[in-house]
Chains A and B, each alone.
Chain A
Amino acid sequence: GDSVTQMEGPVTLSEEAFLTINCTYTATGYPSLFWYVQYPGEGLQLLLKATKADDKGSNKGFEATYRKETTSFHLEKGSVQVSDSAVYFCALSRGNTGKLIFGQGTTLQVKP
């Protein structure tokens, strides 16, 4: 069945460091891909998405490119801030229900 695998955390970085959180997926057909973020004490919210191969999703300085050849959707940010500390979830959606299949989440901690 469909699945999402993302790098285990926690990831600890200093402010202004470069961030990469790896995400790979297994799915038949052409899923849509998402990154969701859960800030401390807040609900899950959509960070960015891509709906077809080679699309790049971007938001708040974060980017991820839908790579069908490597079945990946890695999240990157050039310069992280303390306020980016959160749990990041990679997810895919396929089929006519739109239900999301999530990775296990990666905790990011950014230190000043």
Chain B
Amino acid sequence: GAGVSQSPSNKVTEKGKDVELRCDPISGHTALYWYRQRLGQGLEFLIYFQGNSAPDKSGLPSDRFSAERTGESVSTLTIQRTQQEDSAVYLCASSLRTASNNEQFFGPGTRLTVL
């Protein structure tokens, strides 16, 4: 079956512009995560959605970052007034999130470059 997909694969933007990144999770996966991977570093957790529960936003680095998810479908991560330090690969993952299976499946990522 189809895996996690993300779009665009690459995004180049100018400092100060807003960007929107999209994630399509695996069908049936109730949990969705966003992570950020800066060059040469590990992944940083950004936000977590589980069904219709309130999201865990504890990893969002500033109020310029926001994310939405409608039900158990597509999620969008929005970065307003982008800064050069926002340049990174943004990864989305989804999971069944059951007691016996919480493996996260990752998408290919969106590489964001802020000039």
* Residues in chain A within 8 A of chain B (CB atoms): 4, 32, 36, 42-46, 49, 89, 91, 93, 97-105
Q: Kindly supply a per-residue 1/0 record for chain B positions 20-56, scoring 1 wherever the CB is within 8 Å of any chain A CB and 0 otherwise.
A: 0000000000010101000011111100101000001
Q: Chain B residues with Cβ under 8 A from A98's Cβ?
A: 31, 33, 48, 95, 97, 102, 104
B interface residues with partner A (beta carbon < 8 Å): 3-4, 31, 33, 35, 40-45, 48, 50, 56, 59, 91, 93, 95, 97, 102-109
Name the residue on A nearest B3 (C-beta): A43
Q: Nearest chain-A residue to B108 (Cβ)?
A: A43
Contact indicator B107/A43 (Cβ below 8 Å): yes
9 tightest A-B CB contacts, nearest first: A102-B42, A44-B106, A104-B42, A102-B43, A99-B45, A43-B108, A98-B102, A97-B48, A43-B106
**A99 and B33: CB pair below 8 A?**
yes
In the complex, the number of residue pairs spanning A and B with C-beta atoms less than 8 Å apart equals 56
By secondary structure, the A interface counts as strand
What is the CA–CA distance of A45 and B104 in the complex, to the nearest angstrom?
8
Task: Please indicate the chain B residues that have their CB under 8 angstroms from the CB of A32 in the complex.
Answer: 102
Query: What residues of A have a CB within 8 angstroms of the CB of B50 in the complex?
Result: 97
Q: How far is the CA of A104 from the CA of B104 in the complex (A)?
A: 18
Q: How far, in whole Å, are A44 and B44 apart by their CA atoms in the complex?
A: 14
| B44 partner residues in chain A, CB cutoff 8 A | 102
How many Å lie between the Cα of A36 and that of B93 in the bound state? Answer: 13
Given contacts A44-B43, A45-B105, A98-B31, 12 further A-B contacts (CB under 8 A): A43-B3, A45-B106, A97-B50, A97-B56, A99-B45, A99-B48, A100-B35, A100-B45, A101-B45, A102-B35, A102-B44, A104-B40
Shortest A8–chain B CB gap in Å is 10
Residues of A close to B105: CB separation below 8 A? 45
Across the interface, name the chain A residue whose C-beta is closest to B47.
A99
